[in-house]
Amino acid sequence: MKNKPSEFLELLKSFLYVHLPCSVGVSPNTVKSYKDAFRLLFKFMYEEKHMHADKVAFTDLDYTTILGFLSWLETERGCGISTRNQRLSALSSFAEYAQNRSFDAAMTFRRDTKKLPSKKCPDRMRTIFTLEETAFFLNLPQGDSATGLRNKTLLSVMYASGARAQEICDLTVSDFRFNSDTASLILTGKGGKARKVGIPKGCAALLKHYIDNRGLTGKNERYVFSSQTHEHMTVSCVQEIYKKYVNLAKEKYPSFFREKCYTPHSMRHSTATHMLEAGVPIAVIKNFLGHASLQSTQIYAEATQSTVDKHIKTWNEKWGHKPDYIADNYKAYSAIPDFLLTK
């Protein structure tokens, strides 16, 4: 006879499968995000507290334990502050739900999650790939193995479509349209909103080859991208793929890829920035990215540093005033070593 699930697990199951999707009406992706938070919580409880999931009770989740979990996310898992805050938000939401249904049991859990504020995220520049870096990056995966072909296709599709990592994970064979003159993807974004985006024929041909190679042609309900352990690839798997090739890119092209951190969202930023620099109207980019409002897209209207540098350099060369004493004595400076003239 199986042991009866703990009150904690019973309420958690009801929270994830009834309350969130039915009562609140959140998207499936939000439910997945909450599930990920609790998977990590149970992993932490097992690794650090030697406690199995079916033994975890509300009383085990006091202030010290929750704070330890959040610190573990940052130090052991390498999560950023925004991810840490998302996990805390999931715990807080469940704690409120649980207290309304079992006040005495969940009271401490609810009280202690409220004591922990979200961390302030430092302002930082969006990291993007230049056009040259994008070309280098997309050519890194070798297509001579099944995994290499998958990675090459995944990275190429993300750049061509500007898709979010979760949208790529959710892509099925039926979402891909390939005709003689056109190719497109149906991407399902935040809030379950679907949009159709056109992709270049070269990328479409690579995607079609990958689907054929995997034997997925005609199997419309199958996910396009899978990991070694999951038919439905997770965002964390996409993050690992990016991490692998970013590290390889930094090693292979040391004079490029100078930013400290690149994430899968960097590719989406890059696509939007490159489209804007190519003269694509911002309203078109808004629809392409699936933004709910133009304000979200407006962040890309800020000129990139490379664009600023290019225009300032052109301005200086064309209009910059050169004093006579510099022009007359220019040859005298030619003896200075080149490395001292380079910033």
| Digit-coded pLDDT (tens) for 252-301 | 988 998 887 888 888 888 888 888 888 888 888 888 888 777 776 776 66
Of the residues 301, 321, 336, the one at which a domain ends? 301
User: What is the reported pLDDT for 276?
Assistant: 83
Give the C-alpha separation, 226 to 149, whole Å: 12
Of the residues 71, 89, 115, the one at which a domain ends? 115
Tens of pLDDT along 217-231?
889 899 999 888 888
Answer yes or no: do 11 and 139 share one domain.
no
Answer yes or no: do 174 and 229 share one domain.
yes
User: Strand pairing partners for 223?
Assistant: 172
User: What is the reported pLDDT for 151?
Assistant: 92
Residues 6+ apart with CB under 8 A from 190: 27, 29, 290, 292
- Asked, for residue 319, whether it belongs to a domain, the answer is no
**Number of structural domains found in the chain:** 2
Tens of pLDDT along 73-94?
988 888 888 888 999 999 999 9
Range of the domain at 287: 131-301
Answer yes or no: do 144 and 29 share one domain.
no
Answer yes or no: do 148 and 273 share one domain.
yes
- Asked, for residue 16, whether it belongs to a domain, the answer is yes
Residue 100 has pLDDT above 80, yes or no: yes
- Asked, for residue 336, whether it belongs to a domain, the answer is no
- Asked, for residue 82, whether it belongs to a domain, the answer is yes
- Asked, for residue 125, whether it belongs to a domain, the answer is no
Provide, rounded to the nearest whole percent, the portion of the chain with pLDDT above 90.
26
- Asked, for residue 335, whether it belongs to a domain, the answer is no
Mean pLDDT value across residues 23-32 = 84
SS3 content of the chain, % helix, strand, coil (to 5): 65, 5, 30
User: CB 132: neighbour CB atoms within 10 A?
Assistant: 11
325 falls in which pLDDT band (50, 70, 90)?
very low
Answer yes or no: do 85 and 43 share one domain.
yes
Strand order in the sheet with 194-198: 176-178, 183-188, 194-198
Residue 186 has pLDDT above 50, yes or no: yes
What is this structure's pTM? 0.61
Residues 6+ apart with CB under 8 A from 234: 36, 169, 227
Answer yes or no: do 111 and 142 share one domain.
no
- Asked, for residue 123, whether it belongs to a domain, the answer is no
Residue 309 has pLDDT above 70, yes or no: no
Answer yes or no: do 194 and 222 share one domain.
yes
Kindly compute the dihedral angle of the four CA atoms of residues 301, 81, 250, 207, in this order, to the nearest 10 degrees. -70
Phi, psi at 26, each rounded to 5° = -75, 165
- Asked, for residue 324, whether it belongs to a domain, the answer is no
Answer yes or no: do 171 and 287 share one domain.
yes
Residue 207 has pLDDT above 50, yes or no: yes
Tens of pLDDT along 122-158?
655 578 888 899 899 999 998 788 899 999 999 999 9
- CATH code, domain with 96: 1.10.150
Provide, rounded to the nearest whole percent, the portion of the chain with pLDDT above 70.
83
Residue 290 burial class via C-beta count within 10 angstroms: exposed 0-12, middle 13-18, buried 19 and up: buried
Answer yes or no: do 152 and 253 share one domain.
yes
Q: Which residue has the tokens 């999560």?
A: 79
Answer yes or no: do 187 and 75 share one domain.
no
Residue predicted with more confidence, 3 or 62: 62
Answer yes or no: do 100 and 199 share one domain.
no
Answer yes or no: do 148 and 277 share one domain.
yes
User: What is the reported pLDDT for 17?
Assistant: 92
DSSP 27-44: -HHHHHHHHHHHHHHHHH
